Amino acid sequence: MDDQTRMMSGLAGLGGLSQADVGDPDGVRKSLGQPQQDIGDILQQIMAITDESLDEAQARKHALNCHRMKPALFSVLCEIKEKTVLSIRGVQEEDPPDPQIMRLDNMLLAEGVSGPEKGGGSAAAAAAAAAAGGSPNDGSIEHSDYRAKLAQIRQIYHSELEKYEQACSEFTNHVMNLLREQSRTRPISPKEIERMVAIIHRKFSSIQMQLKQSTCEAVMILRSRFLDARRKRRNFNKQATEVLNEYFYSHLSNPYPSEEAKEELAKKCAITVSQVSNWFGNKRIRYKKNIGKFQEEANLYAVKTAVDAASVSAQASQANSPGRVQCGVLGSRLVCQAANTLFKLCVLCLPCCCFVYLPNG
């Protein structure tokens, strides 16, 4: 039996679908005349296929596929299916944006993991670096360290995301092709395919959420480690300490630098304004607690200040007696022996000044 004969014989067995119908376009009218019965019969035949031998079933299937009423039948079946699915599942709510995903997205964007390369990342790192403080060198080391680690996380995140997206689209395509293929042999509406695609996307987005979550965790761990480094202080370098001490001892009567002065000092010392504030806070309290202990230091810086003042004054007026300078505290005329190199402590304004007050000098 060749295929053609087999098909014909198969179709001949279907009630309402005579051989004449198959070949005759006018048969549509005849079929429509008793659609209910026809469809019922067809359905019965379809059900019966499962009980038949494979060869016979194949033949019937093929015959059905080729039947000109097939699209109409499938469309009716799809409609029925659609209604059944809707009644079972209820109306599929449109996916509202998941608040957790949104939160994760926002965080990743703020941390500079997602979004533009040079945007939030460096900003977040800069903010963290500023919070971490420390000397500029260490700050920049930690800063770059933080940035490098963040970039690493970013890279992993993007490569994983790409992988997921690729897998998702591949799988979606595969399923869509499969369903399209199957739609030739079983009733599958485009809506059903859409729904399936949506299901796949939901599954993949849940995987994506896990990725985002673990990325967020990694960033938080990195950040907390980075911020913990705040307590790992570094001593300021010698020059910075000198600048701060000079200011402190030359303003001993009112060691409260203004905001502008703090900024200036911060710039000079290459530290942050808050570090300057911390330093002055510590210095004031420690000086007050033990003035005696700081006496020597005070003298030292007073000398320094005076030397600087003297050198400036000497440069400004070389015509005047070169050895004379003015006491910064008392305003007295002082003699600087050996051109600013040899000083004796001033007994009148100790510890703020270190010149011998020589009224007759």
Partner DNA sequence: CTCAATGATTGCAA
Partner DNA sequence: TTGCAATCATTGAG
Which is closer to DNA, CB of 74 or CB of 280? 280
Residue 281 sits in the site that holds DNA (CB under 7 A): yes
User: Judged by CB under 7 A, which stretch of 12-20, 59-67, 154-162, 275-283 contacts DNA?
Assistant: 275-283
Residue 225 sits in the site that holds DNA (CB under 7 A): no
Residue 230 sits in the site that holds DNA (CB under 7 A): yes
Q: How many CA atoms lie within 13 A of 261 on its CB side?
A: 13
Q: Are 149 and 140 in contact (CB under 8 A)?
A: no
Which is closer to DNA, CB of 227 or CB of 339? 227
What H or E segment, with its residue span, contains residue 326?
A: strand 324-326
User: Judged by CB under 7 A, which stretch of 158-166, 185-193, 194-202, 228-236 contacts DNA?
Assistant: 228-236
Which is closer to DNA, CB of 272 or CB of 313? 272
Which is closer to DNA, CB of 89 or CB of 289? 289
Which is closer to DNA, CB of 205 or CB of 237? 237
User: Judged by CB under 7 A, which stretch of 53-61, 97-105, 279-287, 314-322 contacts DNA?
Assistant: 279-287
Q: How far is CA 153 from CA 119, 123, 229, in A?
A: 15, 16, 20
Minimum CB distance to DNA, residue 241 (Å): 5
Residues 111-140 that bind DNA (CB under 7 A): 133-134
Q: Are 356 and 346 in contact (CB under 8 A)?
A: yes
The footprint of DNA on this chain (CB under 7 A) covers a number of residues equal to 24
Which is closer to DNA, CB of 165 or CB of 296? 296
What residue has token string 């109409």?
Answer: 72
Candidates 74, 247, 279, 343; binder of DNA (CB under 7 A) is: 279
* Secondary structure (3-state) at 335: strand
Minimum CB distance to DNA, residue 203 (Å): 43
How far is 145 from 357, CA to CA, in rounded Å? 55
Which is closer to DNA, CB of 169 or CB of 274? 274
Q: Are 122 and 104 in contact (CB under 8 A)?
A: no
Which is closer to DNA, CB of 285 or CB of 312? 285
Candidates 177, 278, 295, 320; binder of DNA (CB under 7 A) is: 278
The alpha helices in the chain, defined as continuous H runs, are: 3-12, 19-23, 27-33, 35-49, 54-66, 70-89, 99-111, 120-132, 136-182, 190-228, 238-250, 259-269, 273-289, 291-316
Encoded tokens for 173? 């395509």
Bridge partners (DSSP) listed for residue 335: 324
Bridge partners (DSSP) listed for residue 324: 335
Candidates 158, 163, 284, 344; binder of DNA (CB under 7 A) is: 284
Minimum CB distance to DNA, residue 112 (Å): 22
Minimum CB distance to DNA, residue 111 (Å): 20
How far is 265 from 276, CA to CA, in rounded Å? 7
Question: How many CB atoms lie under 10 A from the CB of residue 102?
Answer: 10
* Secondary structure (3-state) at 357: strand
Minimum CB distance to DNA, residue 113 (Å): 24
- Total residue count of the chain as it appears in this document: 361
- Beta pairing class for 333-335 and 324-326: antiparallel
Which long-range contacts link 55-59 to residues 24+ away (Cβ below 8 Å)? 56/10, 59/3, 59/6, 59/7, 59/9, 59/10
Which is closer to DNA, CB of 117 or CB of 296? 296
Residue 224 sits in the site that holds DNA (CB under 7 A): no
User: Judged by CB under 7 A, which stretch of 21-29, 100-108, 276-284, 334-342 contacts DNA?
Assistant: 276-284
Which is closer to DNA, CB of 84 or CB of 278? 278
Residues 232-271 that bind DNA (CB under 7 A): 232-236, 241, 256, 259
Candidates 29, 89, 118, 231; binder of DNA (CB under 7 A) is: 231
Task: List residues near DNA by CB under 7 A.
Answer: 133-134, 230-236, 241, 256, 259, 275, 277-282, 284-286, 288, 293
